[in-house]
Amino acid sequence: MNHPVKVFSLAVCLNLIPAARTVAGPPFFTDDPEPVDYQHWEFYLFANGDHARGGPAINGPADELNYGVLPDTQLHLVVPMLTISPEGGPATTGLGDTEFGIKYRFLDETDTLPQIGIFPMAEFPTGDPDRGLGNGQTWFRLPLWLQKSWGPWTTYGGGGLALNSAPGQRNHPFAGWLMQRNFGPHLMLGGELFAQAKDTGDDKGFATLNFGGSYNFNEHFSMLFSAGHSIGGDRHTFWYFGFYWTWGPKSSKP
């Protein structure tokens, strides 16, 4: 794999690791359909990493901001710093690509049916592709997510398609499923199986098992963590660590 494709692959793989949420979804790859409450805010300070065959890479420190702009609808923004260390080349640090998305839940959960939502995202080329810090072109992720809860247990998953026409990249599907459990009001633990097809002309795609969770210090502040390793395809070792704050009006739901 040549040097530009190495750094593009590392950056794209890091951008696939979404920011954290305390109820469901990240710090895993697999996301959930549950948006931020109406008129509520979420802020995250986090970092995640991927040690792959092209070399280690760190996405962070990164900031995420979410806002419940309408009932069942959230706006999403991530601005990261990237550090790419490709094999055979020097480490590079700088601003990465900026992520913007809109999550919309169109089916609420009932006793028998899951909640279902979409979360389209665009990755804008604010990073410098000549330094390996960006994709060079805007690309998109178009997923559909489902979630069902009972008692302390929650399970969710789904998948979608990534559309990436940058040099060396290719469109590819992805999918994942996760199970998690709350252990009282403070601790949540879970595990996921996530896979994606090849996203360049030279890789194999990957499937990974990841385990992690969150610890809630109070209703407004949490710590999130996860780690895992690929079990098929290209070799990857993933990790995630971050902090989460939330605030908003007490009576935010119409």
Question: Which pLDDT does position 10 carry in this prediction?
Answer: 53
In this structure, are strands 206-218 and 121-124 parallel, antiparallel, or unpaired? Answer: unpaired
Q: Give the separation between CA 108 and CA 67, rounded to whole angstroms.
A: 19
pLDDT at 203 over 80: yes
132 vs 89 pLDDT, higher one: 132
CA distances from 232 to 27, 97, 108 (A): 21, 28, 35
Region of poorest pLDDT, from 15-29, 186-200, 210-224, 232-246: 15-29
- Tell me the average pLDDT of the chain: 89
Confidence band of 25 (pLDDT split at 50, 70, 90): low
pLDDT digits (tens, 9 = 90+) for 95-147: 999 999 999 999 999 999 999 999 999 999 999 998 888 899 999 999 999 99
Domain range list for the chain: 3-247
- 3 state DSSP class of 98: strand
Q: Give the separation between CA 11 and CA 120, rounded to whole angstroms.
A: 19
Q: Give the separation between CA 196 and CA 205, rounded to whole angstroms.
A: 6
pLDDT at 7 over 60: no
Question: Which pLDDT does position 35 carry in this prediction?
Answer: 96
Phi, psi of 3 (to 5 degrees): -60, -45
84 vs 53 pLDDT, higher one: 84
pLDDT at 14 over 60: no
Question: Which pLDDT does position 16 carry in this prediction?
Answer: 55
Asked if residue 212 lies in contact with residue 240, where contact means CB atoms within 8 angstroms, the answer is: yes
pTM for the structure as a whole: 0.88
Confidence band of 52 (pLDDT split at 50, 70, 90): confident
Q: Give the separation between CA 36 and CA 2, rounded to whole angstroms.
A: 41
Report, as an integer, the average pLDDT of 45-60. Answer: 90
Question: Which pLDDT does position 201 carry in this prediction?
Answer: 81
Handedness of CA 174, 172, 103, 236 (dihedral sign): positive
pLDDT at 188 over 80: yes
225 vs 5 pLDDT, higher one: 225
Confidence band of 9 (pLDDT split at 50, 70, 90): low
CATH number assigned to the domain covering 3-247: 2.40.160.40
